[in-house]
Structures are given as structure tokens and as C-alpha cells.
Chain A
Amino acid sequence: MPVSEETTSRSDTDGTLSLVDCDVHPYYEPDELVEYLPEHYAEQQGYNVPTGMWTDPSGGFRDDAEPVGGGTPGSDPELLVEQALDGPGADYAMLNAGEVLALTVSPQAEYAHALARAYNEWFLDKWLDYDDRFIGSMIVAPQRPEKAANMIREFGDHPRIKQVLLGSATETPYGRPAYWPIYEACEEMGLPVAIHPGPEGMGMAPPNGGAGYSGTYFEKDSGVIDHYIGQITSMVAEGVFVEYPDLDFVLLEGGFTWVPTLLWRADKDWKSLRAEVPYLERPPSEYIIENCYFGTQPTPQPDDPSDLVDMMEMMEPEKTLLYCSDYPNWSSEALELPDLPEELESRIKADTAQELYDLPADPAELG
């Protein structure tokens, strides 16, 4: 298989990484996944995930990410390596599923489970070993938690599988104990569990916005934090991080400037309502800071960029923020981070991810 020789950056000289991109999307043509489905599903269902309620009028992708000769942006490993790794000089790229994550809201639970397996097998075959600098998320169907847990144990020991990824929307909030077999398996395998937007409001999901269904894609995209606040609050309040203290929860592409608000609000409420959740051993904010991570993307752009740094400082950014480009989506903003103190920039761009995903300085050592 082709392996890029252009491993980059400081990692060669001083053992530290300079850039870990925690959200890069490899895409597929749907038929590619169908080939990995059991025959009866391939024949009778094909590729079938809830979709279509909103159309992103931008088309969703950077125009320059389209492979020469056509095809979906992100579907050509060579171009992805060039644009997402070599170009920005990334030491690693975490490859995360895209639209197929909508299987998390499919009412066809068994089919969703089968499609998750199909994606994982396709992902391992086509992508994960293509470049030493690739690490990846496997996906599971939360509708079948026990089967999902078994799948995590099955795929999760691959040295480059570093995370379990779920859609940010699902039938019920992710803190519910029904989902706990997934977290138990993640903790056991040392894999963070992550969520990524996409299926909000679709399939079995509740309305995409807290106030109801959005009238435009713009409205949906701007309001996606409703789901993020809902999911993380559920995880904390239901006691997931008490039951699984070593579980890491990664919230991708939901932004992060809402986090200080939640830290303060949850602690305020907890002081008054502690008796309702007596198993919480610490203020809720501490579980968020210790167990949760947030992708930098989409990075808000206040008129005064220093405002953004101020907001970061309210959420212990040296522990909680992970650099993400979201390649090849249009909201990619590799260059949109404000000027940061050098040490903080290093934490956000590489160090925190290196620790979270246990990444060696030399990607070849991952095996």
C-alpha cells in the first residue's frame, strides 16, 4: 500500500507532535458500503440511512477537495493525504465517518448495526492502513447497545482504531443507562466515545432544535449546540462518568464557546438540586473538564478575536480543546484559530490529542 514519506514536522526531532487533526472525513460512494453488507441487506435495503430533510446549499464541501476526474470530496485517499496531512503538515489525522452516522437514528436497528459493521470493514480495508498518519474512529449502532459493545471489542483492538464515533442525535439522550454497555466497552478498550453532527432531527431523532424543527439548513447548523448541550448534560446528570470514570467523551464539530455557560449553569443547579443526583461526587463542571473534550471546529469568529481566547480560558482549554479541520467540509478552518499563547496553541493543536489517543511521536510505531 502507498505510504507517504512526507512525515513532517517537529515530531522527527524532539519527540513531540505539532499538529493532530482530530476531525477529517473520508467519504465513500454508497455502493462501496453496500458491498460490505450481508447479501440480504445489500439486495433488499442497499444503503439506507435517514437523510434529506435539509440540503446544505453550499454543497457541503470545499470545491478543491473534489478528486480529479470526479467523485465525492474526501473519497480519494491520495488527495486527502495531500490536502489534509501534507499540506498543513499534520502528524496525524483522525478519520471520522460522515453521513453514514445517520444510522444512529434509523428505526431499522438491526440494519443499522449491519451497516455500522459494513462501514468499519470498508474503513479498515480502504483507509486505515493507507498512511501511517491515519488514525480512525469505528462506528456503532446505539440502537443495539449490547451488539455495539461486542463490535467495539471486536474492532477496537486494531492499533489505529482510536475512538468510537456516534451521531450526535439519537432516539433518547446518550446518558440513558440503556447505552451504558457501549461506554463499558469503550472504557475497557481504552477508546474515547465521540459524537459528530449530522442526523439531528432525522429518523427517530427528536426535533433538531430545542425549539423545534429548523426552517433552513442555516438555522439547523447554527443551532446544533442544542443537541450538544443536551447530550453532554445527559451524560453528566445520568452518572455516566461516575459509573465509568475513565471514559472520555469527545464532542466534535459542535463548537465550544457554549461550554463555559454550561459549566456555570450546571454547577449552579447542582448546588440547589444535588439531592436529585446524589451519586455525583463532584460539581458537574468537574466531570465536563476531566472527562470531556471539544473539537475547535466550527470556530466562532467574533469581531474581536481576543474575545474567543477569553472564552477559551473559561474552560481549561489546555485540557479540553482538540484541533479539528473538518476536512473536506466547507467549514474547514485550519487557519481560523486566533493568536494563542504558544503553550496553549501546542496543547490544542497536538499535545492534548497525543495524550488522549496515546499517539507515539513516530506514527510508524502504531503498527
Chain B
Amino acid sequence: MATRHVVCPADELQPGDRKIIEAGGLSVGVFNIDNEYYALNNVCPHQLAPLCEGDLTGLVTSEEVDAEKYEYERPGEIITCPWHNWEFDVKTGESVFNPHLRTRTYDVEVETAEDLDDEMLEELAEGDEESIPPCQKYGASLAGDEPPIETYDVAVEDEMVVVYV
């Protein structure tokens, strides 16, 4: 069963951004594409390169053998492997040239404290300190040892990007 891992506050992962985190012993790249979130195993299926460190680009397509007719589609939705430039669809993990070749994808959610059920909170409480997000340590819904020392826009601060690996 997938385990929940906090990535970062939502405002730290803006459209076009990515973060690479350790989660469940794996390296995982988490991407924000137009405020939709995607996560890929940071491993290229070709030779195990850190795929998610590659360049984000678009997909060049053409219905005709004519460079004037090329389309540049889905900018920012294709990642190229840093070792051999193989293209992968960030949304599906599939290789562009061979959809049977793919890297694993994971579910990403943007959650607020209210989304957490009791069981998840227990898990969080049992987890190590580092994995507990700021909104849990300092948010109003949990009693912490330290009181909030500043207040922020709750609607933003409360949103956390989490990945289920």
C-alpha cells in the first residue's frame, strides 16, 4: 500500500517547478504542470539515470514531412533524460518513442490539515520529526509544544503537496 510522503508546501512548487525527494527509499520527482501535480520515479528505464533531473520541454510533432508544419505541443510536459535525451511524458511516465517503455508514476495530492483522518494523523505523530509538515507542527488543528509565533495566510500555508509512494 502506498505510503504518504509530504513533499512541500504548495506555494513552494509553482507551475513549471519540480522537486526531487526521497520517499520510501526511492528518489521521486514531483512536478507542477499548470497546477496539476505529477510524480515520477527518478529513474530512467534505459540505464537508470536520474530522469527527473532532465530538461522539461515540449513535444515536437508533425503530420507532414515539412519543418514549417511542425507543431510544438504540450510545452513543459515532456522531460528528457539527462544522459541520452530520451523523452518521457511527465503525466504518464511513458517514453515518447515507445509507450511500452515507462518509468513508474505516483499519485500526488494537495492536501490540507482537514483532509487528514485520524489514522493518518497517528501515523504522522509516530513518524520522525522531519516528516511532519509545518502545518502539522504549527497549525491550529494540532496541539504542539510550541505555539504559533507568526500567523500567515492560512489558505496557502495549509496546502501541502503530498505524494503516495
Q: Which residues does A use to contact B, with CB under 8 Å?
A: 177, 238-239, 242-243, 270-276, 278-279, 283
Question: Is the contact region of chain B dominated by helix, strand, or loop, or is it mixed?
Answer: loop
Shortest beta-carbon distance, A309 to chain B, in Å? Answer: 30
Q: How far is the CB of A289 from chain B (nearest CB, A)?
A: 17
Whether the Cβ atoms of A239 and B85 lie closer than 8 Å is: no
Q: Are A272 and B84 in contact (CB under 8 A)?
A: yes
Residues of A within 8 A of B64 (CB): 279
Could you say which residues of chain B place their CB within 8 Å of the CB of A272?
Answer: 84-86
Q: Is the CB of B86 within 8 A of A239?
A: no
Smallest Cβ-Cβ distance to B96: which chain A residue: A274
Q: A272-B85, A273-B85, A274-B87 are in contact. Are A283 and B97 (CB under 8 A)?
A: yes
Are B84 and A243 in contact, CB atoms less than 8 angstroms apart?
Answer: no
Chain A: minimal CB distance from B99 (Å): 13
Known A270-B97, A283-B97; contact A275-B87, beta-carbon cutoff 8 A:
yes
Complexed CA–CA distance, A301 and B86 (Å): 38
A112 to B85 Cα, complex, angstroms: 45
Number of A-B residue pairs having CB atoms within 8 Å of each other in the complex: 31
> Once the chains are docked, how many angstroms separate the CA of A15 from the CA of B26?
64
What 1/0 mask marks residues of chain B from 52 to 66 whose CB sits below 8 Å from any chain A CB?
000001011111111
Additional A-B contacts beyond A243-B65, A276-B60, A279-B62 (18; CB < 8 A): A238-B65, A239-B65, A270-B97, A271-B86, A271-B97, A272-B84, A272-B85, A274-B87, A274-B96, A275-B57, A275-B60, A278-B60, A278-B61, A278-B62, A279-B64, A279-B65, A279-B66, A283-B97
- Which of chain B's residues 25-77 have a Cβ closer than 8 Å to chain A? 57, 59-66, 70
Task: List the A residue with the shortest CB-CB distance to B60.
Answer: A275
A271 CA to B64 CA, complexed, in Å:
20
Most central of B65, B70, B86, B87 by chain A CB within 10 Å? B65
A43 to B86 Cα, complex, angstroms: 60
Q: How far is the CA of A27 from the CA of B65 in the complex (A)?
A: 40
CB contacts (< 8 Å) of B63 on chain A: these are: 279
Chain B residues, Cβ within 8 Å of A242 = 65
Across-interface contacts of A279 in B (CB, < 8 A): 62-66
Contacts of A278 in B (CB 8 A): 60-62, 70
The 3 residue pairs across chains A and B that have the minimum distance between CB atoms: A239-B65, A275-B60, A272-B85
Q: How many whole Å from B89's CB to the nearest CB in chain A?
A: 13
Question: Beta-carbon contacts of B120-145 to A below 8 Å, as 1s and 0s?
Answer: 00000000000000000000000000
Across the interface, which residues of B come within 8 angstroms of A270, CB to CB? 97
A321 CB to nearest chain B CB (Å): 28
Give complex CA distance A283, B101 in Å: 14
Task: Report 18 cross-chain contacts, Cβ distance below 8 Å, ordered by A residue.
Answer: A177-B65, A238-B65, A270-B97, A271-B84, A272-B84, A272-B86, A275-B57, A275-B59, A275-B87, A276-B60, A278-B60, A278-B61, A278-B62, A278-B70, A279-B62, A279-B63, A279-B65, A279-B66
